[in-house]
């Protein structure tokens, strides 16, 4: 995966921890609940599924009362804990409908926060942000410190989803400093994981780790199993991102074990999703496939399109590595099913790049090239748009700060002196911003050129070389052969060798396709060593190879083939101790300047079959006259 694509998938994958943390923090005080519901509320963090089961088994006696509103509120919070956003949103809306419209109280504003969180998980953060701000304004007016903290934490998550990391960090740090050291769901240590999340989104994992560690220590000390699994998940991800793979894997596995123990299916799914790439890295593809498949099943239960898109994209990459064409195509189709290009522009570009690889694997090189070319253009447009948005945000922030400073100067100094100072400062700031924008644009253009060249080289490799042996593929060696043949002068000729491995099916059947692949790989390496320019070597199909030898007579070509045959007999020692010696049959034909290439190849092919029929492991020179 190239660097830019990796960046897209890292950003996309970071949604996991946001979904996890969003329900465990920013929870309202139980003071707004009746005694009969307080116990259920406090048990959400231990086992939310049990709380849901108990609530559904015991609906309220008076379905239109305020007590029923509390019932649906707790149900919504429990669904959030399980990361079931649609169910959480429906329960929150029912609760809001049951409350009186006049004189909204703490429960009403707590429900606004819960609804905003559910909207955030449904990728409707822009709709949820006004609800959180309304709750925050009410809490500040009523000096409700606990709800202020709740609203600030919820606002932080919404701003993260919207990509406003600076605003998110400001809200979460304000909540962190307001929170008590202990004795509350929203203690400093509990909120530490939220602060860490912003640093993770900003790709500053070293800064995130101390906050994650603080959250882990606190939740472990208080035996809060659900929150502990979440904090361990974040810590494991961060350590994995900075290269501490063994440490990160242990923490993720502990998070997985806790999630399984408490029945947190979504926690299990996220942990599996994060662990699977480590098994891919160690080439344990079967285990990685099992983990990703289980995660996809669990995410289907919560209708989590973000994660289903991510999972099937990862499975597509896995089966590309395994060269399993049907499965890579199948999971690519599933990934596209969960893509919403309008709300997921970065993921859309990343998926389009991945689809071009799948098309190339299927042999549709022209389609792969056209799609990759279009994707590069879209990526450049998106980068340009995001750069413009970032510059606009900086400009707005700069103008706000400048205005505040100007107001302070107006109160203290002479108006003329103040105006002069402000103008000079604005000019300097604009100059610096202009320089910064120009330098940034230059770097973006350089990056785009380099990236485009790399993509063209990669596409050339895919289109012209066999991915297993590294030799020319059939279409490309035919193109090169035609070019060489067209340059032949009168009475000049070239020699064509059609080479086919003997008993190759037996090797595949008895020792497995991995052994067969190793035979092909090593024979390809031998061809590269002995068949050098201006001669050509290519994989013609299956276990069949075509050699093109220039400026050589028949005896020289035969000697070269025999040298290759001797070297090939040593291949089996690196594959399987019981594997028989590797040998091949070869057919040799001469192709003159005035002969048809395809007919000459057919002569070499017929000669090769004569070699097989006469005992294999030999070379037969074609006697056919064209």
Of 437, 464, 491, which residue is a domain's last? 464
- Set 200, 214, 227, 543: catalytic member: 543
- Determine the average pLDDT of the residues in 135-164: 89
Does residue 196 contact residue 208 with C-beta atoms inside 8 Å? yes
Same domain, residue pair 445 and 563: no
C-alpha–C-alpha distance, residues 420 and 427, integer Å: 11
| DSSP code per residue over 375-435 | HHHHHHHHHHHHHHHHHHHHHHHHHHHHHHHHHHHHHHS-HHHHHHHHHHHHHHHHHHHHH
Q: Which domain-ending residue is among 425, 443, 464?
A: 464
Q: Are residues 439 and 484 in the same domain?
A: no
CATH number at residue 148: 1.25.40.10
The neighbour count for residue 412, using CB atoms within 10 Å, is: 8
Q: Tokens 């231990």 label which residue?
A: 46
Place of tokens 């329960």: 91
586 bridge partner residues: 499, 619
Q: Which residue has the tokens 């923090």?
A: 25
361 burial level (CB within 10 Å; 0-12, 13-18, 19+): buried
Q: What is the pLDDT at residue 275?
A: 93
Q: What is the mean pLDDT of the chain?
A: 83
Asked if residue 186 and residue 75 are part of one domain, the reply reads: yes
Handedness of CA 420, 421, 423, 428 (dihedral sign): positive
Domain boundary among 263, 291, 306: 263
∠ CA 269-270-274, rounded to 5°:
115
Please tell me the predicted confidence (pLDDT) of residue 408: 58
- Orientation of helix 145-161 relative to helix 106-121, angle to 10°: 20
Cβ atoms of residues 523 and 568 within 8 Å? yes
pLDDT tens, position by position, 489-500: 988 899 999 999
Report residue 515 as tokens. 């052994």
Distances (CA, A) of 586 to 80, 137, 591: 67, 84, 16
Strand residues in 489-583 grouped as ranges (E): 493-501, 536-541, 544-549
One domain for residues 390 and 525: no
pLDDT digits (tens, 9 = 90+) for 343-353: 777 778 888 88
Tokens of 47: 């086992």
Residue 483: CATH number of its domain: 3.30.70.270
304 lies in some domain: no
More reliable by pLDDT, 448 or 297:
297
Give me the sheet containing 536-541, strands edge to edge.
536-541, 544-549, 493-501, 584-592, 619-621
Residues 456 and 545 grouped into a single domain:
no
Tell me, yes or no, whether 313 lies in a domain: no
Q: CB-hemisphere CA count at 13 Å for 544?
A: 13
Tell me if 513 is assigned to some domain.
yes
pLDDT tens column, 441-497: 887 888 877 887 888 878 888 889 999 999 999 999 999 999 999 999 988 899 999
Contact 270, 236 (CB under 8 A): no
Read off the pLDDT band of 359 (50, 70, 90).
confident
Q: Tell me the mean pLDDT in the region 376-391.
A: 63
pTM of the entire structure? 0.48
CB atoms within 10 A of CB 327: 15
In terms of domains, do 613 and 499 share one?
yes
Cα first-last separation, the chain? 49
62 Rama class: left (phi>0) / alpha (psi -120 to 50) / beta: beta
* Main-chain phi, psi angles of 376, to 5 degrees: -60, -40
Please tell me the distance from the alpha carbon of residue 185 to that of residue 188, in angstroms, as a whole number. 9
240 touches 249 (CB < 8 A): yes
Q: Is 404 exposed, middle or buried (0-12, 13-18, 19+ CB in 10 A)?
A: exposed
Question: 540-555: string of b/e by CB count within 10 Å (b at 16+)?
Answer: beebbbbbbbeeeeee
Asked whether residue 311 is domain-assigned, the answer is no
Place of tokens 């694509």: 5
Tens of pLDDT, residue by residue over 42-58, are 888 778 889 999 999 98
Residues 598 and 452 in one domain: no
DSSP 8-state symbol, 472: B
Q: Which of 140-144, 443-447, 543-547 has the lowest mean pLDDT?
A: 443-447
Closest to 175 (Cα-Cα) out of 134, 219, 140: 140
Same domain for 488 and 604, yes or no, is yes
Nearest to 295 by CA among 357, 279, 119, 47: 279
Is position 277 within any domain? no
Query: Is residue 337 a part of any domain in this protein?
Result: no
Please enumerate in sequence order all residues whose Cβ is within 8 A of that of 364, keeping only pairs 6 or more positions apart, or say none. none
Residue 21 lies in a domain: yes
Give the pLDDT confidence score for residue 176 in this predicted structure: 86
Residues 231 and 122 placed together within one structural domain of the fold: yes
Whether residues 492 and 421 share a domain: the answer is: no
Parent domain of 452: 367-464
What would the pLDDT profile of 210-252 be if each residue is shown by its tens digit? 988 988 988 888 888 888 898 899 999 999 999 999 999 999 9
> What pLDDT is recorded for position 11?
42
Cα dist from 305 to 112, 329, 354, 489, whole Å: 24, 19, 18, 63
Q: Is the pLDDT of residue 18 over 80?
A: no
Q: What is the average pLDDT across 53-70?
A: 87
Active site residue 204: no
258-292 per-position pLDDT tens digit: 999 988 888 899 999 999 999 998 999 999 999 99
Burial 426-449 (b: 16+ CB within 10 A, else e): eeebeeeeeeeeeeeeeeeeeebe
Own/partner pairs, 559-567, CB within 8 angstroms, 24+ separation? 560/530, 560/531, 561/497, 561/499, 561/586, 561/588, 561/619, 562/619, 563/530, 564/499, 564/526, 564/527, 564/530, 564/531, 565/617, 565/619, 567/526, 567/530
Note whether residue 278 is domain-resident: no
Q: Give 368's DSSP letter.
A: H
Please report which helix (H) or strand (E) contains residue 30, including its range. Answer: none
Indicate whether 150 and 252 sit together in one domain. Answer: yes
Number of structural domains found in the chain: 3
d(CA 205, CA 242): 7
Backbone phi and psi for residue 280, each to the nearest 5 degrees, phi listed first: -65, -40
Residues 84 and 208 in one domain: yes
Among 100, 43, 104, residue whose Cα is nearest residue 74? 43
| Pairing assessment for the beta strands 544-549 and 536-541 based on DSSP bridges | antiparallel
């Amino acid at each position: 995966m190239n660097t830019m694509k990796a960046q897209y998938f890292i950003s996309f994958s970071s949604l996991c921890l946001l979904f996890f943390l969003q329900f465990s923090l920013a929870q309202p005080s139980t003071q707004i609940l009746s005694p009969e519901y307080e116990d259920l509320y406090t048990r959400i963090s231990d086992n939310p599924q049990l709380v849901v089961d108990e609530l559904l088994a015991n609906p309220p006696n008076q379905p239109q009362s305020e007590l029923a509103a509390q019932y649906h509120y707790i149900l919504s919070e429990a669904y959030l804990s399980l990361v079931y956003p649609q169910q959480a949103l429906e329960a929150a809306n029912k609760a809001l409908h049951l409350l009186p419209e006049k004189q909204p109280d703490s429960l009403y504003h707590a429900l606004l926060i819960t609804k905003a969180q559910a909207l955030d998980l449904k990728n409707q953060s822009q709709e949820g942000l006004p609800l959180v701000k309304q709750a925050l304004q009410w809490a500040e007016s009523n000096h409700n410190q606990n709800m202020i903290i709740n609203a600030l934490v919820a606002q932080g998550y919404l701003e993260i989803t919207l990509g406003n990391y600076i605003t998110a960090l400001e809200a979460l740090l304000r909540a962190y400093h307001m929170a008590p050291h202990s004795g509350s769901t929203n203690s400093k240590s509990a909120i530490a994981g939220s602060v860490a999340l912003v640093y993770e989104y900003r790709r500053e994992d070293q800064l995130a780790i101390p906050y994650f560690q603080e959250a882990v220590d606190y939740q472990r000390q208080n035996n809060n199993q659900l929150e502990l699994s979440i904090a361990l998940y974040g810590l494991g991800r961060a350590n994995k991102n900075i290269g501490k793979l063994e440490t990160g894997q242990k923490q993720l596995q502990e998070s997985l074990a806790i999630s399984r123990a408490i029945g947190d299916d979504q926690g299990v799914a996220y942990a599996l999703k994060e662990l699977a790439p480590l098994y891919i890295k160690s080439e344990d593809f079967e285990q990685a496939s099992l983990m990703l498949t289980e995660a996809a099943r669990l995410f289907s239960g919560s209708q989590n399109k973000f994660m289903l898109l991510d999972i099937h994209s990862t499975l597509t990459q896995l089966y590309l590595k395994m060269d399993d064409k049907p499965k890579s195509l199948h999971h690519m189709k599933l990934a596209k099913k969960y893509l919403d290009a309008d709300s997921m522009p970065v993921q859309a570009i990343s998926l389009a790049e991945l689809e071009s690889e799948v098309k190339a694997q299927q042999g549709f090189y022209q389609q792969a090239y056209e799609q990759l070319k279009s994707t590069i253009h879209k990526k450049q447009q998106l980068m340009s748009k995001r750069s413009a948005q970032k510059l606009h945000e900086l400009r707005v922030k700069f103008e706000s700060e400048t205005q505040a400073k100007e107001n302070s100067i107006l109160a203290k100094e002479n108006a003329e002196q103040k105006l002069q100072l402000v103008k000079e400062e604005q000019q300097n700031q604009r100059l610096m911003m202009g320089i910064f924008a120009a330098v940034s644009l230059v770097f973006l253009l350089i990056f785009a050129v380099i990236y485009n060249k790399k993509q063209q080289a990669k596409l050339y490799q895919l289109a012209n070389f066999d991915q297993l042996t590294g030799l020319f593929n059939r279409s490309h060696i035919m193109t090169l052969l035609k070019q060489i043949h067209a340059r032949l002068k009168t009475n000049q000729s070239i020699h064509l060798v059609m080479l086919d491995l003997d008993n190759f099916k037996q090797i595949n059947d008895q020792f497995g396709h991995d052994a067969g692949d190793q035979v092909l790989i090593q024979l390809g390496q031998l061809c590269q060593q002995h068949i050098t320019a201006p001669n050509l070597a290519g994989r013609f199909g299956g276990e069949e190879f075509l050699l093109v030898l220039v400026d050589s007579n028949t005896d020289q070509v035969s000697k070269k083939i025999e040298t290759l045959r001797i070297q090939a007999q040593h291949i089996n020692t690196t594959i399987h101790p019981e594997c028989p010696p590797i040998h091949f049959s070869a057919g040799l034909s001469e192709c003159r300047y005035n002969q048809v290439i395809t007919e000459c190849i057919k002569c070499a092919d017929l000669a090769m079959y004569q070699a097989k029929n006469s005992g294999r492991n030999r070379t037969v020179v074609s006697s056919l006259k064209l």
